[in-house]
Amino acid sequence: MTHKREIQGNVVKIAGEKTITVLVERRVMHPRYHKVVKRFKKYLVHDERSEAKVGDEVVAIECRPISKRKSFRLKSVVQGA
């Protein structure tokens, strides 16, 4: 059984009918200054039923590639906007 990655972030854009853009923030220690800094990355997530809105906090799970940049599908909406 393979391990599926899960990401949690905020919806920043609705791109098309079944695609949302999720901004994921992670906190890492700076190698030289030893200060916690934020790193951001955007993921395209497949939303089959169009249930997520801009500003929602969502959880997405890794799946087979759906398109060139889309390899995650929506698992649940954690918190509404």
pLDDT (average), residues 32-41: 98
- Ordered by where they begin, the domains of the chain are 6-79 (2.40.50.140)
- Asked if pLDDT for residue 26 goes beyond 90, the answer is yes
Specify whether the CB–CB gap between 27 and 38 falls below 8 A. yes
- Report pTM: 0.88
Give CA–CA dist 65/81, Å, rounded.
28
Q: Using pLDDT thresholds of 50, 70 and 90, give the confidence band for residue 2.
A: confident
- pLDDT of 57: 96
Q: Cα angle vertex 40, ends 39, 42, to 5°?
A: 160
Q: Which long-range contacts (CB under 8 A, 24 or more apart) does 30-37 make?
A: none
Reference 12, options 4, 21, 3; nearest CA is 21
